[in-house]
Amino acid sequence: MITLDTTIQRNTDNLLTSEVGDELVMMDMDGGNYISLNKTGRVIWEQIEQPVKVGDMVNRLTTRFDIDKETCAADTLEYLENMLAQKVITVA
């Protein structure tokens, strides 16, 4: 389970990415499945080019998007769990 203390990073080992319009389309080379990240996902993706602690990322997003920290943390954690399930990110 991902918490604010978890450090996460992009899973670039088996993932191909390509921009298609507003979406970032990704293919999991292991399973041959493809998924896309919406605007929220792309914002998170930009933040995790290097390994980052989730709490630090939530602080940055809170400042950038005029959203209260509690809501931002809840939404981010939920989205990150989905990204982990899709193997888009890994936990360091």
Residues that bind another protein (CB under 8 A): 16, 18-23, 25, 27, 29, 32, 34-36
Residue 27 or 91 having the CB closest to another protein:
27
Distance, in Å, from the CA atom of 81 to the CA atom of 85, rounded to the nearest integer, reads: 6
Q: Cβ 60 to another protein, closest distance in Å?
A: 26
Contact in structure between 54 and 3 (CB atoms under 8 Å): yes
- Report angle CA 78, 53, 62 to the nearest 5 degrees: 65
Residue 11 or 73 having the CB closest to another protein:
11
Residue 22 or 70 having the CB closest to another protein:
22
Q: Hey, is 3 helix, strand or coil? A: coil
